[in-house]
Amino acid sequence: MNKLVKTVASLTLCTSLLLSTASGASAATYTVKSNDTLSGIAKQYGTTYTEIMKLNGLRSTLIKVGQKLKINGTASTTTTSTTNSKVVSVAKNYLGVPYVFGGTTTSGFDCSGFVYYVFKNAGKSISRNTAAGYYNMAKKVTSPQVGDLVFFSNTYKPGVSHVGIYLGKGQMISASGSNVNIASVQSSYWKSHFTSYGRI
């Protein structure tokens, strides 16, 4: 009888430790960004929006920018990497498309309209915004990845005024000058106006 009790107690302790370890390894805290939705966050972490609501005691799906959420899951870096590669692939399809101020179609793009169109067609949902608007939305990074955004200031007006898509190896693609083209971030002109890299 004592042997049985010890065995059950041992199994219970092992199970508790395993659950505790698994829970600790997968727990994460997520800070809500502009345009985030619970379903989108859940998809990123391989969970469900109802599970996030339950874990955080939420009564509705409404969330606010800056709000911190507890999430059981691990962010999918593979999905992010694949999406970013698709962003670059889609962007390169429109090399040479004319620059049109305010343009958001293949008839002509401006810099932010190009970003909006490319992201949308790469399956990365963002709202239509200006270069400054995307700058405010983006998480600033110092080590850019392919598909991140590159921001520049004082190109034709004060403040953040141009945005491009980072291609890697110091290059970006953007709608500038007369058309969509590839340029070096380190060229004399762009380097003098560089502000930061950002991730959406």
Q: Encoding tokens for residue 24?
A: 């600790």
Report the pLDDT value the prediction gives residue 83, as an integer from 0 to 100: 76
pLDDT for position 29 = 85
All residues at 6 or more sequence positions from 183 whose CB lies less than 8 Å from its CB, including other chains: 164, 171, 172, 173, 174, 176, 190
Per-residue confidence (pLDDT) for residue 49, from 0 to 100 = 87
pLDDT, tens digit, 9 for 90 and up, residues 116-153: 999 999 998 899 999 999 999 999 999 999 999 999 99
Q: Is 121 helix (H, G, I), strand (E, B) or coil?
A: helix
pLDDT for res 5: 40
Q: Compute the average pLDDT of residues 6-12.
A: 43
pLDDT digit string, tens, across residues 162-188: 999 999 999 999 999 999 999 999 999
Q: What pLDDT is recorded for position 74? A: 61
**Is the full-model pTM beyond 0.85?**
no
| Stronger pLDDT, 123 or 98, i.e. the higher one | 98
Amino acid code (one letter) for 166: Y
2 pLDDT higher than 70: no
CATH for 79-199, options being 3.20.20.80, 3.90.1720.10, 3.10.20.740, 3.40.50.300: 3.90.1720.10
Residue ranges of the chain assigned to CATH 3.90.1720.10? 79-199
**Residues forming a β-bridge with 173:** 165, 182
CA dihedral 199, 42, 114, 157 (to 10 degrees): -50
Question: Residue 16's pLDDT is what?
Answer: 42
Burial class (CB in 10 A: 0-12, 13-18, 19+), 121: middle
Burial 165-177 (b: 16+ CB within 10 A, else e): bbbeeebbbbbbe
Using the predicted structure, report yes or no on whether residue 104 has a pLDDT greater than 50: yes
The CATH code of the domain at 28-71 is 3.10.350.10
pLDDT in tens, 24-82: 445 678 888 877 888 878 877 778 888 899 999 999 999 999 999 998 866 554 455 67
Q: Where in the chain is the domain with CATH 3.10.350.10?
A: 28-71
What is residue 25's predicted lDDT score, i.e. its pLDDT?
42
Residue 81 CA: distances (Å) to CA of 87, 147, 151, 175: 10, 9, 21, 23
CA distance 152 to 163: 6
Query: In 65-150, which ranges are continuous DSSP H helix?
Result: 77-92, 111-121, 131-137
